Amino acid sequence: MSQKQNCLIVDDEADIRELLVMTLERMDINTYSASNFEEAKILLKQRQYSLCLTDMQMPGGTGLDLVNYISEFHAGLPVAVITAHASADNAVSALKAGAFDYLSKPLSLKQLRPVIEFALKLTPQISPNRVNTLEMIGDSEPVQYVRMMIAKLARSQAPVYVSGESGSGKELAAKLIHKNSARADGAFIAVNCGAIPENLMESEFFGYKKGAFTGANQDKEGMFQAANGGTLFLDEVADLPLPMQVKLLRAIQEKKVRMVGGTSEEAVDVRIISATHKNLVEMMEAGQFRQDLYYRLNVIQLKMPALRDRPSDIPMLANLLMTKLCENQNIAIPKIDHSTQAYIAKLQFPGNVRELENMLERALALCDGQTITIDDLQHQDGFRIEHHAPNPTENIVNLPLNADQSPEVNLPDYLEDIEKRAIVQALIKTNQNKTAAAKLLGVSFRTLRYRLVKLGLSKDTDDEATDEQ
């Protein structure tokens, strides 16, 4: 028979304490009550608790004071604060201080029960070693810091804002936070905010009722409902238009949504993780992003490091990505030789991990099947890779010019020669299939046909249907 869990309730209003006690006892949880900060400190010393529910405004010390006290002397104890209906700033302050979640007055049992259930799933102490972040590849200091933050964020319900350049792993970090949280059994719903037409945003986020508009033949839930009990990841949140920002802010603050065409609101229990590669502070100053929404989303920020800021991780990452690519294609895994690994580690990669993977995929198609060399990398994407080298002088040093060529080499002719060789090798690799060759080269089929004619490799544009066979 499992031992009952204990909950500490701290509120100066007797009726609120009574409501909470009744709710928790129905859930088979022992309850202990305090009416102020000092009484709470005494009770905390007497026994172990699995959860603390505290009001924000109390005599002798606020709920925020209690959150700070628990963080210092009872680390790992989840705390949820109860705030007045309009005091959104208090909720944000409490979450930043380490509160697990917040509840707004008047209290709703539909909102209270999930908060309690999620809190009771947490382990008594923060245990980063139990968090599985192995998918976050690398041993560098920036990656170790990200792993540590993911372990902490997984124990909270607070909104998280993941910042970083495109391709730096923002969605992976969001998935790992969800996967290691008490919400792991719930859905992880990812949405690219920039990919939804503005006139469909409200219905996509909140759902719609039958007959709400032309074509609405039945009720349809939105992404908030789909993520209920789980996590909603808002990628490229900076692309939300201002009218939608207002509606999103209200849904986050109230934890309720109204379907398009609906007459009532429904409670939703969703954790929000947002991300963008844009600078939201600059957008706020320009009036393009609401300040109140920014502070609601950016309760805790996780900054993803650029790949160039962790060069020691690049060889390991390159080998793992190569293994993944070969396993997907069911082919033998070529070796990336040491000089190639050292060369890759010096590149800037403005596209980060995504760019590294694309580069390796094209090099895989151009190599001999046994070893990836620097030559394979240069052939498939010559001057673009060199442009990303960290030192401008390396652009000149690494150019494969003949020793007797003069410094006054004709640059357009030289670049044209590189492009010709890359195209010819791609066509050989794909048995002259232009569609496949275009994919290897990272260009459209039409672009390849145009370049073939431009470079004198084809007399005319061949029949497109034939090429695509």
Q: What angle do CA 180, 184, 186 make, to 5 degrees?
A: 160
What pLDDT shows up at residue 446?
75
Of 319, 234, 313, 307, residue with least CA distance to 270: 234
Q: What band does 238 get if pLDDT is binned at 50, 70 and 90? A: very high
User: CATH no. for residue 255?
Assistant: 3.40.50.300
Q: CA 297 to CA 161: how far, in whole Å?
A: 6
175/275 same-domain check: yes
Give backbone dihedrals phi and psi of 321, rounded to 5 degrees, phi first.
-65, -40
Mean pLDDT of 370-375: 89
Q: What angle do CA 138, 143, 149 make, to 5 degrees?
A: 140
298/158 same-domain check: yes
| Half-sphere exposure in the Cβ direction for 103 (13 Å, CA) | 22
Q: CA 290 to CA 158: how far, in whole Å?
A: 19
Q: Which of 242, 273, 305 is the last residue of a domain?
A: 305
Per-chain mean pLDDT for the chain: 84
313/439 same-domain check: yes
In a domain, 266, yes or no: yes
pLDDT in tens, 92-147: 888 888 888 888 887 877 778 888 888 887 754 444 445 666 678 899 999 999 99
In a domain, 82, yes or no: yes
152/255 same-domain check: yes
In a domain, 1, yes or no: no
Q: Which of 100, 121, 142 is the last residue of a domain?
A: 121
Mean pLDDT of 146-160: 90
Bridge partners, residue 244, by sequence: none
137/248 same-domain check: yes
Q: Is the dihedral of CA 188, 192, 195, 198 positive or negative?
A: positive
Label the pairing between strands 256-257 and 266-267.
antiparallel
What pLDDT shows up at residue 131?
60
In a domain, 174, yes or no: yes
Q: Are 150 and 173 in contact (CB under 8 A)?
A: yes
Domain count, the chain: 3
What pLDDT shows up at residue 96?
83
In a domain, 10, yes or no: yes
Q: What band does 85 get if pLDDT is binned at 50, 70 and 90? A: low
Return the CA Rg of the chain: 28
Q: What band does 449 get if pLDDT is binned at 50, 70 and 90? A: confident
141/98 same-domain check: no
313/452 same-domain check: yes
262/315 same-domain check: no
Q: Are 453 and 460 in contact (CB under 8 A)?
A: yes
In a domain, 316, yes or no: yes
Helix (H, G, I), strand (E, B) or coil at 373: coil
Check whether 260 has a pLDDT greater than 50.
Answer: yes
pLDDT in tens, 179-195: 998 899 999 999 999 99
295/320 same-domain check: no
In a domain, 227, yes or no: yes
Q: What band does 403 get if pLDDT is binned at 50, 70 and 90? A: very low
Helix/strand/coil percent split, the chain, to 5: 50, 15, 40
pTM over 0.95: no
Q: What band does 341 get if pLDDT is binned at 50, 70 and 90? A: very high
Give me the domain span that covers residue 60. 6-121
User: CATH no. for residue 345?
Assistant: 1.10.8.60
Mean pLDDT of 331-351: 91
Among 98-112, 197-211, 284-298, 325-339, the range scoring the smallest mean pLDDT is: 98-112
Residue 265 structure tokens: 């609101």
298/264 same-domain check: yes
Q: Are 78 and 122 in contact (CB under 8 A)?
A: yes
Helix (H, G, I), strand (E, B) or coil at 52: strand
What pLDDT shows up at residue 380?
44
250/319 same-domain check: no
User: CATH no. for residue 85?
Assistant: 3.40.50.2300
113/132 same-domain check: no
What pLDDT shows up at residue 404?
46
Give 278's contacts (C-beta < 8 A, 6+ positions apart): 236, 238
Check whether 88 has a pLDDT greater than 50.
Answer: yes
Q: What is the number of other CB atoms lying within 10 angstroms of the CB of residue 420?
A: 15
Q: Which of 86, 121, 156 is the last residue of a domain?
A: 121
Q: CA 352 to CA 466: how far, in whole Å?
A: 37
pLDDT in tens, 22-45: 989 988 999 999 999 999 999 999
